[in-house]
Structure 1
Amino acid sequence: MGVYSSTIIAPKGSSGMTLISSHNDDTTVSFSDIGFDFYYNGVNCRTTVKTNGNSWVGFTGATEQLKINRRDAGADNIYYCQETVNGKSTFRIRWEGHGVYNAWGTLDLVWELILFNDSAMVLVIEQIPNTGTNSFVNPTSGTTTLTLENNKSYAFIPSQEQGKAYTVQEGSYIQPNIKYLMVDGNDIKHWDALSSSYVKVSELPLTADKFQSYSDDNYHKERTGLISTSPILKIWSPLTEMPAPVVTQTIKPKPVIVSMKEDILFTEAYIIDIINAVISLDNTGSGIIVFIVSTDSGTSWKAWNGSSWILVDIENMHDVKIKGMSTADLQGITEAQWTSLGLLDKKIRFAWYMEVSSSTDILKLKELRINYNVI
């Protein structure tokens, strides 16, 4: 992320920009590709940004998410361009028109909107009559009323990833040319795209020359290639002051097979056989849990495939994942099918494969209960 600046910036004007619409009354205009990924409320808006002759912008499509004196207005001209600022891609929209319908040629509503590739924005007001609605649909915070004035600029800076919880204040936004290197023990490393890992490029001490020669434009949260348990992310910027960066690592556990250490015994004379199995679990998200069973104290393992019991290799995690029984399958096994497993020794044990794909997944096995048929 860049940094907020209290400096008011001036509009750049239409020179060098592409005219996409003129004499626009109520027409919605689409920008086919702004040139980089731009996230708003978790949605990639690279190909969905739109504006309209009634002076609004939609980031996710034809939805009025930013209103600048929105009313039955008219756009004499709408321009756009892709620009590079401090080595970073930006996209600029310029809207020239009038705040009252059919006042063509009277340019009393003129603004520019700059989109940055880290989801920040700057709205530059050249002229505004303030006869319509000024508002912004702020993700996670709701619709915010804006106070907009002539010859002012306003920074929209997200406080959460992927364009959420924006702070809106008078001023501007600077996205400096930031460089990154990783210090791994005594080694200086950068990210190697070919091997998808950190590789050594030099040794300490770290100097400005080494930053210029080896640094990355983006930091990578992966730890591949790092040996130290406490690697240090080093950052270079031409700014004399910048906020302390925050790097958040999200860790999810690897898939695991959990096996019961002891058998469940049902050797009592009054127990005839197994009626069914009942599972109680918490599974929120995209977690996976499948089950296998053993009747010989874990020497061999089996799963019901819908027509028969098949062998499963518990040492092969993929085999367990593919052949294991889902919760519904396990609970659906009938008394006759349990009997066909071969329960003469009246003992059984279970194992289960567990996997989550997201840090927000919740997967907890709370209870596995066996119901018996008795005399």
Structure 2
Amino acid sequence: MGMYSSSSISPKGNSGMTLLSSHNDDTTVKFPDIGFDFYYNGVNCRATIYSSGNSWVGFTGSNEQLKVNRRDAGADNIYYVNETVNNKQTFRIRWEGHQSYSNWGTLDLVWELIIFNDSAMVLIIEKIPNTGTNSFENPIIGTTTLILENNKSYAFIPSQDQGKSYTVQEGSYVQANIKYLIVDGNDIKHWDTASSSYAKVSELPLTADKFQTYGDDTYHKERAGIISTAPVLKIWSPLTEMVAPRVTQTITPKPIIVNMKDDILFSEAYINDIINAVVTLDNTGSGIINFIVSVDSGVSWKSWNGSSWGLVDITNMQDVKSKGMSVAILHGITEAQWTSLDLSNKKIRFAWYMEITSSTDVLKLKQIRVNYSTT
């Protein structure tokens, strides 16, 4: 979590930086491991960041994902350095060059890029002739055209986890020194990596010393180790002003098995057997629904496996999921195959397994219709 400011920041220059490449015309060069995880579009890019004499940065390899006056330019020098700001690791790139590959030593195109471990970035423009392409491949959103000016900086702040859907605006960004603790009743707890759960470290009241001694750098959404039904996430920072944090928790329902309470009866004398079964449902996303049937009022359950009817254990959710019939299989069962189920009792009932894996999935069963042959 960090702080955005509408004020631009100045470049720091190349003092103390490591030279990666010099007199670079069209050569693509790779930066070393930046020393911390940096996610862009869901990919950890700590060891896959590249640049070139043509004034671009690739986060996931030699892909031109950030272009700063990109054209057939030339880099006199490309530098990098690991730095610490507010006790947070950063990685800074400095590109010094010129808009045309033949003008070595002119230095009319100079910029720096600061990379943060929360996927945010700040681009600092020292000099730019604006004779090339300025753009950013913005995950989820698409290509974003950049308007860049001399002596200004631009903050790239992701609005989604793992470096997606960036807001790009003039200004700057810095990560705050923030610590997290959980208040569980009267107990103060932090995340214990050894047990992968929250562990007690002290008792109320909370103090700045306790945050600095025990506080976590990131908060964990897991509830392991928490007893209270209403735990409280506490946040501390030395900043006098801080944007109110927002914690979003996404919940998806657990898989379920739905069992019809009553049989579908077809005991009328004019009904011979089942022709087919037709399901109507809404299924948007990655939802799973599989069906099983019973002809003895739920005592036993079966599914068609492609050649015969096999038993399914309705008390075993995984068995129903793996052996149950998909909608396509259920629709494809022929009249002869339904007859081989032994429908002499003239009754049938259905059960089905339902599962969604994303909060955006929609899975609604609207109707099961059984069609019969008659005399």
Please give the TM-score of this superposition, normalised by the length of structure 2.
Answer: 0.92
1:339 maps to 2:339: yes
Q: In 2, Cα distance between the equivalents of 1:36 and 1:351?
A: 50
Residue 132 of structure 1 corresponds to which residue in structure 2?
132
Give the drift of 1:256: 0.4
8 Å Cα contact 1:138/1:144 also seen in 2: no
| Deviation per residue, 1:212-268 (Å, 9 max, x gap) | 222111101122232333221100111111000000000000110000010000111
Aligned 1:67-86 pairs, distance under 5 A: 67-86=67-86
Structure 1 regions of 5+ residues with no counterpart? none
Secondary structure of 1:298's counterpart equals coil
Residue 360 of structure 1 corresponds to which residue in structure 2?
360
Residue 107 of structure 1 corresponds to which residue in structure 2?
107
Q: In 2, Cα distance between the equivalents of 1:316 and 1:112?
A: 58
Secondary structure of 1:373's counterpart equals strand
Comparing 355-364 and 257-266, the one that deviates more: 355-364
Aligned 1:94-173 pairs, distance under 5 A: 94-139=94-139, 140=141, 142-150=143-151, 152-173=152-173
8 Å Cα contact 2:125/2:148 also seen in 1: no
| Two-structure CA RMSD over aligned residues (Å) | 2.1
Residue 174 of structure 2 corresponds to which residue in structure 1?
174
Q: In 2, Cα distance between the equivalents of 1:87 and 1:32?
A: 21
Q: In 2, Cα distance between the equivalents of 1:359 and 1:200?
A: 32
Residue 253 of structure 1 corresponds to which residue in structure 2?
253
Displacement over 4 Å in runs of 4+: none
Comparing 100-109 and 344-353, the one that deviates more: 100-109
1:311–1:135: structure 2 CA closer, same or farther, 3 Å change rule? Answer: closer
Letter in 2 for 1:36: F
Aligned 1:146-295 pairs, distance under 5 A: 146-150=147-151, 152-295=152-295
Q: In 2, Cα distance between the equivalents of 1:217 and 1:239?
A: 15
Aligned 1:30-41 pairs, distance under 5 A: 30-31=30-31, 33-41=33-41
Q: In 2, Cα distance between the equivalents of 1:159 and 1:319?
A: 40
8 Å Cα contact 1:187/1:204 also seen in 2: yes
Aligned 1:313-332 pairs, distance under 5 A: 313-332=313-332
8 Å Cα contact 1:134/1:148 also seen in 2: no
Q: In 2, Cα distance between the equivalents of 1:332 and 1:93?
A: 60
Secondary structure of 1:182's counterpart equals strand
Please give the TM-score of this superposition, normalised by the length of structure 1.
Answer: 0.92
Aligned 1:293-308 pairs, distance under 5 A: 293-308=293-308
8 Å Cα contact 2:135/2:143 also seen in 1: no
Letter in 1 for 2:120: A
| Deviation per residue, 1:304-344 (Å, 9 max, x gap) | 22222222221111221222122222222222221121111
Comparing 133-142 and 262-271, the one that deviates more: 133-142
Letter in 1 for 2:187: D
Q: In 1, Cα distance between the equivalents of 2:70 and 2:146?
A: 12
Secondary structure of 2:72's counterpart equals coil
Q: In 1, Cα distance between the equivalents of 2:159 and 2:305?
A: 49
| Deviation per residue, 1:188-224 (Å, 9 max, x gap) | 2212223322222222211122212221111011222
| Deviation per residue, 1:251-298 (Å, 9 max, x gap) | 000110000010000111111011111122222222221111111111
8 Å Cα contact 2:69/2:133 also seen in 1: yes
